Amino acid sequence: MKTPVDRFRFRPYQRPAAGWGALRSVAHAWLDSRQPFKNLRAMLQTNQNGGFDCPGCAWGEAPKEGRIRFCENGAKAVNWEASGRGVDAEFFARHSIEDLLAQDDYWLEYQGRLTEPMYYDGNSGHYRPISWDLAFKRIAEHLNSLSSPDQAAFYTSGRASNEAAFLYQLFARTFGTNNLPDCSNMCHEASGVALKGSIGTGKGTVTYEDFEHAEAIFVIGQNPGTNHPRMLEPLSEAVARGAQVIVFNPLRERGLERFQAPQNAVQMLTNGDFALNTAYFRPALGGDIAVIRGIAKWLFQWQDEAERSGGDEPLAKAFIEEHTEGFERYRAAVDATSWDEILAYGGLDKEELERAAHIFCRSNATIICWAMGVTQHRHSVATIQEITNLQLLRGQIGKPGAGLCPVRGHSNVQGDRTMGIDDKPPAALLDALEKRFQIPIPREDGVNVVQTIEAMLADQLKVFIALGGNFAQATPDSDRTHEALQKCDLTVQISTKLNRSHLITGREALILPCLGRTDIDYQRSGPQAVTVEDSFSMVHASFGQLQPLSAEMRSEPAIVAGMAEAVLGEKPVPWLSLIEDYGRIRELIQDVIPGFERFNEKIQAPGGFYLENSAGKRQWNTENGKANFVAQALPTLLPETVLSALDKAGKNADLVLQTLRSHDQYNTTVYGLNDRYRGVKGERRVLFAHLDDIHRLGFEDRQKVDVVSLWSDEQQRRVRGFTLIAFDIPKGQAAAYYPEANPLVPLESYGVGSYTPTSKYIAIRLEPSSVPERIV
């Protein structure tokens, strides 16, 4: 099977999101998985009590019983994982690593599930089978011969269960390092950093029920139609009951405009649809902080007027007085920011900001949601602090229908952090581990994703182990990241599917095939459940439903325990006996992690249990015990050093690029080459830009170009032969798909305080394509 050679087509999409288009697409995914009927049964168990947690996104479950709880893209995720195809020893004998490197990301994963452990010795050009015992032994030999435990890093992608994640961090820390980088470093890290300082918790404060009581919902820098499709239902219900749904997104995302409920027969048959928003604003890339400040500026103006004339005051003065600190300084910072600055930076005009401010003021229950459009900028932490400032002005945290909602990505990324997957762990966690296990726990901060790559490049990191994910492709600056991985002595990938991280290896490499969320996990005491935590802090059990494709695959907890036992023996726990019954792992979790008392009992409840959120109860676990306004001037979008270097070299940017997801992918997993809601078919190497910009730069619509990114170093960063698409996008901006555009993101371009690569703000220049047009 080759990559589908659907011809490239572009035609703007006119129909509503979800609805018939989604149903057709699900049917296609079923028929393509080689086991459609088995998977249909699995699909009906998605997110049901006694079923498994959807391996797609981290959106929570509606508390109402009896609903089908999967969406089009969840269906794709389930089908993709439950593939009937297998990648085994025979496959690797047939394909050398070099052959496989020539294939694209779609082809690699399409080959099916990894079914047996494989070893690459760095010489023969092929992976060869290896026994589990020998694989673990090889890992132990490498780890135990390092001169410092900090020469190893233990990466986690956000699908790992709580049980796997807890064991994994215990293994890394007992071994002696806090080097626990994770996908969150590239995702919502800024949300955690900002919220912890402002309100004393790194998590969102709202529950699913809050969406049913909100009077206004702001959706900033997020594309739920593709990435959190189940969110469209509460949004459309909110609009239908008269609540305001306000979108801030430079692109007109179809999934935020119109919606047809695929489970509503009348709507489907009559082809009716709902509006999904009541106002849609299109800010500049990275401009949200100025937009929010503009809204705050209107609020202060109206407050002054109300105080003079005795009208309704927009500010929640009693709340500010009782619960917050720093109000005066924040007010001074807003006063010091001129309208000119706000308008130029934010990209919206004063009337638009006034309208948004009016909506904000009229609502007595406001939720603000955000995702990667906010978190993947240089000043993401500052932007989320500003969002929090705005909510504090009207007391919109810790009451029904209101609060802060960072919408998480991977299905258990929030749970993994709760379990201690954290390269900068809080002292309380380390104290609790030390007390429970009676071993010294390292106290120095570990490396995050960017620092891991830097350490590899500097020859300071020699063993890299990944619990899931696709580090080679998800990270920035692909050429340098690949070079970094190749400098390692050993790279280990614990994975379900073949991807480029298995091919860009250290001197030696291991592939350890694991069970996924949909697979039945048999252990000595019977089939096991694992647990996960969603975006709303609900923890619940997940039971696999399908027979594993191969008896050689092992569960993630079993693989982690196997490695740990080979490296550490029975220190500090009898690793292998924990695997006989995962209830034993949960007993350890309950001893260490707050909120997990009576863990095994509480997961029996339908829907699981809620982890209390301190800020949601207006308890502020900050240093001063208050919710903090953060006052600052508007930050720059690129570091000053880069701005001046670009000026000096006379190489000003043509456009600013954001990288985003198509409708047919899950991060680096490419399900197909179409992006239905943006009207693109058959091609992923495209660059969306405004027609005026395309002409201004001397190109034509559909012409192929090279894209070069600009930075203050000498590194060449280029992707070749991208097709220009004239698109409804604000002038000066461009967009391209992740991960194809990742070679353009400089490793040094990351968020202040978050270290998140600035995947949504890359200065680029276009050049004529260096790839000859294919002659058909």
Ligand X SMILES: Nc1nc2c(c(=O)[nH]1)N[C@H]1C(S)=C(S)[C@@H](COP(=O)(O)OP(=O)(O)OC[C@H]3O[C@@H](n4cnc5c(=O)[nH]c(N)nc54)[C@H](O)[C@@H]3O)O[C@H]1N2
Which residues of the chain form contacts with ligand X (CB under 6 A)?
56-57, 73, 109, 157-159, 183, 186-187, 220-223, 226-228, 248-251, 253, 283, 285-286, 288, 371-373, 376, 409-410, 467-471, 474, 494-497, 499, 514, 516-517, 556, 658-661, 665-669, 738, 741-742, 745, 759-760
At closest approach, how far in Å is the CB of 192 from ligand X?
13
- Cβ–Cβ < 8 Å for 314, 302: yes
For 551, the token pair is 């008896």
Q: How far is the CB of 467 from ligand X (least distance, A)?
A: 6
Question: Choosing among Mo ion, ligand X, none, which partner's interface includes residue 750 (Cβ < 5 to 8 Å by kind)?
Answer: none
From residue 398, give the alpha-carbon distance in Å to each of 140, 361, 365.
48, 17, 10
Rounded to the nearest whole angstrom, what is the least distance from the CB of residue 230 to ligand X in the complex?
A: 10
- Kindly state the smallest distance separating residue 213's Cβ from ligand X, in Å: 24
Q: Work out what residue 559 binds among ligand X, Mo ion, none; the CB cut-off runs from 5 to 8 Å by kind.
A: none
Helix, strand and coil in the chain, % to nearest 5: 40, 20, 45
- In 587-732 the beta strands, taken as DSSP E runs, fall at 609-610, 627-628, 655-660, 665-666, 669-670, 680-681, 686-689, 704-709, 718-726
Query: Could you tell me the smallest distance in angstroms from the CB atom of residue 518 to ligand X?
Result: 9
**What amino acid is encoded at 505 in this protein?**
T
Helices (H), 10-63: 19-31, 36-44
R_g of the chain computed on alpha carbons: 25
Q: Which is nearer to ligand X, 151 or 184 (CB)?
A: 184
Partner whose footprint covers residue 471, from Mo ion, ligand X, none (CB < 5 to 8 Å by kind)? ligand X
Residue linked to tokens 């220049």: 765
In angstroms, what CA-CA distances link 740 with 197, 206, 228? 35, 34, 22
Residues 390-419 that bind Mo ion (CB under 5 A): 409
77 binding Mo ion? (CB under 5 A): no
Residue 622 host element (H or E): none
756 binds, among Mo ion, ligand X, none (CB under 5 to 8 A by kind): none
For ligand X, which is the closer residue by CB, 48 or 659?
659
| Residue number with CB closer to ligand X (158 or 192) | 158
Residue 572 binding partner per list ligand X, Mo ion, none, with a CB distance cut-off of 5 to 8 Å that depends on partner kind: none
Residue 323 or 417 with smaller CB distance to ligand X: 417
Q: Give the nearer residue to Mo ion in terms of CB position, either 555 or 759.
A: 759
**Partner interacting with residue 157 (select from Mo ion, ligand X, none; CB below 5-8 Å by kind):** ligand X
Residue type, 723: T
Q: Closer CB to ligand X, residue 25 or residue 622?
A: 25
Burial of 104 (0-12, 13-18, 19+ CB in 10 A): middle
Distance separating alpha carbons of residues 723 and 694, to the nearest angstrom: 11
187/465 with CB nearer Mo ion: 187
Q: How far is the CB of 196 from ligand X (least distance, A)?
A: 19
Between 471 and 620, name the residue whose CB sits nearer to ligand X: 471
Nearer to Mo ion, 409 or 513 (CB): 409
Which entry of Mo ion, ligand X, none binds 226, CB below 5 to 8 A by partner kind?
A: ligand X
The answer for residues whose C-beta is within 8 angstroms of residue 684's C-beta and 6 or more apart is 662, 670, 673, 675, 737, 740
Least distance (Å) from Mo ion to the CB of residue 474?
Answer: 9
Pick between residue 109 and residue 273 the one whose CB is nearest to ligand X: 109
Least Å distance, CB 553 to ligand X, is 11
| Structure tokens belonging to residue 455 | 């350490």
Binding partner of residue 662 among Mo ion, ligand X, none, CB cut-off 5 to 8 Å per kind: none
Name the minimum Å distance from CB 188 to Mo ion. Answer: 7
Q: Rule CB under 5 A: is residue 187 a binding residue for Mo ion?
A: yes
Helical (H) or strand (E) element with 170: helix 162-175
**Dihedral through CA 110, CA 116, CA 117, CA 118, nearest 10?**
-60
Determine which helix (DSSP H) or strand (DSSP E) holds 672, and give its type and residue range: none
**Lookup result for tokens 């968020």:** 751
Name the residue nearer to Mo ion (CB basis): 181 or 200: 181
Closest distance of CB 467 from Mo ion, Å: 16
743's contact among ligand X, Mo ion, none, with CB below 5 to 8 A by partner kind, is none
Instruction: Enter the DSSP assignment of 656.
Output: E
Q: Which does 759 bind (CB under 5 to 8 A by kind): ligand X, Mo ion, none?
A: ligand X
The least distance separating ligand X from the CB of residue 438, rounded to whole angstroms, comes to: 30
Question: Under DSSP, is residue 675 helix (H, G, I), strand (E, B) or coil?
Answer: strand
Paired tokens of 101: 């490197």
Write down the least CB distance from residue 616 to ligand X, Å: 22
Report what 748 binds from ligand X, Mo ion, none; CB cut-off 5-8 Å by kind: none
* 156 DSSP β-pair partners: 182, 467
For the stretch 246-274, what's the b/e string if a residue is b when 16 or more beta carbons lie within 10 angstroms of its beta carbon? Answer: bbbbbbbbbbbbbbbbbebeebbeeeebb
Taken as a whole, the chain contains a residue count of: 776
In the bound complex, what is the minimum distance in angstroms from residue 56's beta carbon to ligand X? 6
CA 467 – CA 492 distance, rounded (Å): 9
Q: Which long-range contacts (CB under 8 A, 24 or more apart) does 562-565 make?
A: 562/132, 562/136, 563/136, 563/139, 563/140, 563/171, 563/465, 564/167, 564/170, 564/171, 564/174, 565/136
Q: Which residues contact 327 (CB under 8 A, 6 or more apart)?
A: 320, 629
Nearest residue (CB) to ligand X, 303 versus 518: 518
Nearest to ligand X of 327, 543 (CB atom): 543
DSSP state of 581: -
Task: Name beta bridge partners: 704.
Answer: 723
110 binds, among ligand X, Mo ion, none (CB under 5 to 8 A by kind): none
Which positions lie near Mo ion, rule CB under 5 A? 187, 409
